[in-house]
Structure formats: structure tokens, C-alpha cells
A and B are shown apart, each in its own frame.
Chain A
Amino acid sequence: MKQSIFQILSNTALTDSVYKMVLSGDTSDITAAGQFVNLQLEGMFLRRPISVCDYDGETLTIVYKVVGKGTEAMSRMVPGVKLDILTGLGNGYDLTLAGDKPVLLGGGVGVPPMYNLAKKLITLGKEVTVILGFNTRSEIFYEEEFKALGCKVIVATADGSYGVKGFATTPLAVIDYTYFYTCGPEPMLKAVYKATNTSGQMSFEERMGCGFGACMGCSCKTLTGYKRICKDGPVMKKEEILWEA
């Protein structure tokens, strides 16, 4: 974990409620796809944990949905604004288990962390299929970006307004895959858990206090003991997940 000051390079709308923010700063503590950063916003007490969409030596890209006053304030920020950010939080995805043909399933605002993951898997020479699930056509983002990486991209919409009609899990029946990686709302994660016939990893979300393992605000029960979503997660292996009623 590292605390440092980032500067906004761009902050643009991808849909009515989803924004892409690119920042420059010290990304040296970001070590894996699926990690997150924790942003301090003026006038708000707690930081905002946001997953890393992409990063390189100098820049950090986050894609976030406006869901409350914090993300609403972020959506109005202009290039040049400086933000205090904790980086290198969370475990991230383990790439070593992917096999030759991993499938990545992103649902809604669970799509962004799939991007750097896909990029890394492509670099490793994997044949990557990405399934992007959205409610409706107007909410779709990043389809072209994933295609540009060289992934096979399938888009599913719940209302059938674009691509396959159904959920992110719907296309699973017709593709061949060796392992899965996913991020999305919990009902989707449960559906992925049931619909997949391989092992895999899923990223969870919870209201956090600190984001670095100190407060026990985001604990969950797993088959391998109590875990902190922020520090021991947010990525969990399928085998350790314990769904509570």
C-alpha cells in the first residue's frame, strides 16, 4: 500500500452514469489486476474504494459508476485536480491458474477490472473470451476496448437490446473455457458460480471502512475462515466461497 497524490488527466462519460478517469501518479504499488485504490474526496469522511481498470508506469485508469454523493462529486472533477489516493490495495487475480482459454465475465460496473486482467492474460498468450453483461444497450461500455486487446468479446443484455439476450452467464453454455474470472453484483456472482463447470475466481464488493485490513468492516465468512474483502480479497477462489442465505 502506498499513499500518494495523483493528478487527473481526463474524466469522461462513457454512458449516462459511468465515467472513465485517467490519473497520473505513482503506480508502483499496483501489482495485480483486480486490485483497487481508495480515493480521498474533499468534504467526505471515508475514502472511496474503486477497482483499477488499467495502469502502467505513470498512469492509473478507473471506470466508475455514479451511485452516491462521492462518485457524483468525482464525475464533476476536471483535469488538473489532485487526489490523495491509497494504491496497491487488495490481492487481485491469480493469473497462474488460467489455463489456455480463460473466460472473463464482467457485469455492469464489474466490467472495469476485467480490462487489465484481459490485457495481462493476452500478453501471456492466452485465448481470452470476455463476456460483458449489461441491462440494456445504453449502458454498454468498453466493448471496443476489449476487442482491441485481441479478446473474443460477447455482449449480453438483459432486455435483448444488443448482443445476446440474457445475462453474462447465458453465453457460457456455447463456449469452451479452461477457467473463469468474474466481477459483478452478487446475484451475478452466484449465477456464475452455478453456471460454470470449471474452477475460477470472483471479486467481491462490500462497504469498507479503511480498505487496508485494519477495521474489520468488510469481513465475510469463507470455507477457509474469516476473510477481509479489502485485504484477503476482494478476489476469492470458487472453492473457498461460502454463500450465506
Chain B
Amino acid sequence: MTRFVMVIDTRICIGCGDCVVACKTENKVPDGLNRDWIVEATRGTYPDLKTEFRSERCNHCSNATCVTLCPTGASHHWNDSNIVLVEPEKCTGCKACIAACPYDARLVMHPDGYVDKCTFCHHRVARGLDPACVSSCPTGCMHFGSLDDPHSEVNHLLKTRDYKVLKPETGNDPNVYYLI
């Protein structure tokens, strides 16, 4: 399985939301729905504070519970990779995947009647491009690539920087990494 990962540097991210808008225009996401979003986490008491911004989305888990639990096979791994897609024609809108997702990363509900989500812009990845959110980010805090390529930027970052993933305890093997 080809393993595509996103590596996001929280030291750099300013929480501007450009990734959210870039996704909406690139993927023509309907009004009122977003495939990615910003989380701001502040801890401490004034003036001893720490704030982390995170751009969040589907983690395109290698061990994706949404894929396992989808009763119709609509949720699937794309092209022998970890990229999780939904095939609209097979999706009945039963929402089992929404319950199964530890990251609440699935949209409820595309107007055409299926559960929509982040695709890692596989249409761009197929052409050797970064996802739209990564390409647009004004700070350059987002990186995308294959973990299988030992020389990739994402591999280098994960080898040289401290990082975390969200909810590792689920065993889903998520593929969005946050540099800390």
C-alpha cells in the first residue's frame, strides 16, 4: 500500500483558514460544508500561555474503521494507497462511517445524498501535485508526500522533528502528522 502522509508544522501554522477556503474552491465543496477546519488549543493562564493551531481533516488512516464498517463498500482505499474515498453511487447515506470515524472528518451530508469528505485531492496527487490546501498555505506549514520514498520531505521532517498524531490510541494508524 502506497502511504501518503500530510505533515503540518504547528510551530508555523497561524490558523488563517486558507486551507479551508482553498479546499472549498478547488473541490467545489457546497455551501455550508467543509472538508477541513482549524482547531485552536490554548492552555495556561494569562500571561503564561501556549497556543497551538491545527489544520485538521480526514487522517486517511491505514487501518480505517470507516472503510471496515461501511456496509456497501462505498468507503474504500483509493488505488492501493491509504487515501480514503467515498464512491457516491454506492453510498446510501447510512452514516455508519460517521459513527466509525474517530476524527469526525466526514461531512453530513452532500446535497447529492452521500457522505462527503477530504480526498487528499487525489485528483491532484495523481498528477504529481500537492493537495490544494498544501499548495495554498501562505506559511508553507503543510507538507505532503509519500512515506515510502526515503528521500521525501515528509520522511525527512518526521525523522528530524518531534511530532504527534491525533488519537493514536484508536489503532487507526492515522496519516496526518503534527510537528510540535
Check if A and B associate.
no
Interface residue ranges, B against A (CB under 8 Å): none
